[in-house]
Amino acid sequence: MARLLIVDDEKNIRRNLAMFFESLGHKAQAVESARQALRALAETPFDLVLADYKMAEMNGLELLNEIKRERPNCLVILMTAYATVENAVAAMKAGAYDYVTKPFLLEQIRHIVERAIQLQNLRQENRALRQAIDEDPLLISRSPAMMRLRESARQAAASDAILMLTGESGTGKNVLARQIHRWSLRQDGPFVVVNCTTLSEQLLESELFGHVRGAFTGAIKDKPGRLEAAADGTIFLDEIADLSPALQAKFLRFVQEQSFERVGDDRTIKIDARIIAASNRDLETEVAAHRFRDDLFYRLNVITLRVPPLRERAEDIPALAEWLLKGASLRNRRPPMKLSPEAASALNRYHWPGNVRELRNAIERAVVLSRSDVIVAEDLPDSVFREAPEARPRGLHGGTLDEVEREHITRVLAESATLEEAAAALGVNPTTLWRKRKRYGLE
């Protein structure tokens, strides 16, 4: 069913067309002038307008231009008893869906309208699918922590400062990085992702910096790297803590100078790219353990944004679930689906150790396996019904990494006479300890 607006100063034509399309199950409204049509369009979201070309005060072409200016998604078919090639060309250039010559048979106009409605439905589905794919779930939030993160990210996006994103796996650091790129002045440039965990050291070096022919076995031709691909855009290094010491040193030079050489080449390449790095590990701990270069850490640690785990933003689970359900239904060619109260309650109670990624997978599974348009509790993975692990005594062998670190710092501070003494005992510098103390509210 579609909403049709029929505009014609001949009463019999607009009345007969309205009655005909109403008999086909559509909703049709008939008006006699372009002015009345514009008022009707301001009140009702019509899918299609059938308008006469020759009318007093404002003709059909002028009406078409007004509609396209105010309602660009509305399709318009022009009707005329005075057909000319010039008018037809002008109408199509102005964005008319079709141009029909009077007199016409009702079946003729029915076929044209049905094709237009099919196109309109397809466009609506495409818009919904694009929104479901492109819309950032991190923006769907009532959590104060997430709202602060979003505002900080948007403000940082306006600069070219290096960003470090931290947080557990599955929280959406890669999604946030892409959104920062979209918010930035580099949004028309490339957004290039390098996952530092998926390749061996040699392959990752080639992937990142590129190589020349003969640089190593299998290098049969020159190949530019991901850094070159990111010129004038953003380079996102996911899980940067997994870079080997040799690659850390080579990447440090790029961070400092925005220049590098391909593997096997001595020609220096210089590019302009914004750097965003991410890690699910505490890089300060990695530095203290001598697994990550301190000079690279300080270069990268310009602006750090922590993405909270899903359990810290539980108020967002219902909206996230609905958003993910919409996207999964479209991807799997299912009709619009909804969650039963029992399924929604189970999602809200679960502790989601895998964060948003685990929630996405649970929803996807339910959509594929559900036998109806309603997701019931039985459609969800068994893991969703497991109780959260019982709290263990918090020490060096229990609790999250942050909890263990906070407790350890608290104990060392209590046993030390000065901040410097505590920093020495912890193997960090006093400035780092001061920041950690502030972060954990130990002042």
Give the model confidence (pLDDT) of 381-428 as tens digits: 998 987 665 544 444 445 566 677 777 788 778 777 777 777 766 766
Residue 138 in domain: no
Are 317 and 300 found together in one domain? no
The pLDDT value recorded for residue 124 is 74
Q: Is 391 part of any domain?
A: no
CB contact at 8 A, 346 and 381:
no
Question: Do residue 14 and residue 124 come from a single domain?
Answer: yes
> Token pair of 439, please?
């972060």
Share of the chain above pLDDT 90, in %: 60
Split into its structural domains, the chain has a count of 4
Judge whether 334 lies within some domain: yes
pTM recorded for the entire structure: 0.59
Same domain membership, residue 187 and residue 89: no
In DSSP terms, 403 is beta-bridged to none
Residue 296 token pair: 């690279």
Q: What's the CA angle centered on 185, arms 180 and 189, to 5 degrees?
A: 85
Kindly state the DSSP code that residue 309 receives in the 8-state scheme. P
Asked if residue 217 is part of any domain, the answer here is yes
Tokens of 31: 């008006």
CATH number, position 195 = 3.40.50.300
Q: What are phi and psi of 397, to 5 degrees?
A: -120, 20
Residue 377 domain flag: yes
Helix (H) or strand (E) holding 148: helix 144-157
The confidence score (pLDDT) of residue 4 equals 94
DSSP 383: G
Read off the pLDDT of residues 259-288 as tens digits, 9 standing for 90 and up: 999 999 999 999 999 999 999 999 999 999
HSE-up (13 A, CA, CB side) for residue 31: 17
Cβ proximity of 336 and 359 under 8 Å: no
Nearest Cα to 226, choosing from 215, 234, 218?
Answer: 234
Domain termination residue (choose one: 267, 285, 306): 306
Q: pLDDT by residue (tens digit) across 37-90? A: 999 998 888 999 999 998 888 998 999 999 988 888 889 999 988 778 788 888
In a domain, 393, yes or no: no
The burial of 153, by beta-carbon neighbours within 10 Å (0-12 exposed, 13-18 middle, 19 or more buried), is given as buried
The DSSP bridge partners found for residue 6 are: 30, 50
Q: Which helix (H) or strand (E) holds 304?
A: strand 303-306
Residue 372 has pLDDT above 90, yes or no: yes
The DSSP symbol for 263 reads: B
The burial of 94, by beta-carbon neighbours within 10 Å (0-12 exposed, 13-18 middle, 19 or more buried), is given as middle
193 and 215 in one domain? yes
Using DSSP bridges, classify how beta strands 303-306 and 259-261 pair: parallel, antiparallel or unpaired: unpaired
Domain ranges, residue 377? 311-385
Q: Is the bond preceding 103 in cis, omega lying within 30 degrees of 0?
A: yes
Judge if 152 and 301 occupy the same domain: yes
Domain shared by 207 and 318, yes or no: no
Q: Is the same domain home to 43 and 96?
A: yes
Query: What mean pLDDT do residues 100-116 have?
Result: 90
125 and 179 both lie in a single domain: no
Q: How far apart are CA 135 and CA 156, in angstroms?
A: 20
**CATH code of the domain in which 61 resides:** 3.40.50.2300
pLDDT of 73 reads 82
Q: Evaluate whether residue 341 is within a structural domain.
A: yes
Rounded distance between C-alpha atoms, residue 271 and residue 208, angstroms: 13
Q: Are residues 251 and 344 in the same domain?
A: no
Q: Is the pLDDT reported for residue 156 higher than 90? A: yes
Q: What is the mean pLDDT of residues 118-128?
A: 77
Last residue of a domain, one of 277, 306, 335: 306
pLDDT tens per residue across span 193-237 = 999 987 888 889 999 999 999 988 888 899 999 999 999 999 999
Nearest to 93 by CA among 111, 115, 68, 116: 68
Look at residues 306, 326, 359 and tell me which one is the last residue of a structural domain.
306
Rg of the chain (C-alpha set): 30
Burial class (CB in 10 A: 0-12, 13-18, 19+), 44: exposed
My answer on whether 57 and 151 are in the same domain is no
Burial grade of 311 (CB within 10 A; 0-12, 13-18, 19 or more): middle
Q: Are 378 and 271 members of one domain?
A: no
Are residues 126 and 30 part of one domain?
Answer: yes
Give the range with max mean pLDDT: 40-44, 71-75, 135-139, 367-371: 367-371
For helices 419-426 and 401-415, give the axis angle rounded to 10 degrees.
Answer: 130
In a domain, 390, yes or no: no
Residue 50: closest CA among 122, 102, 87, 86: 102
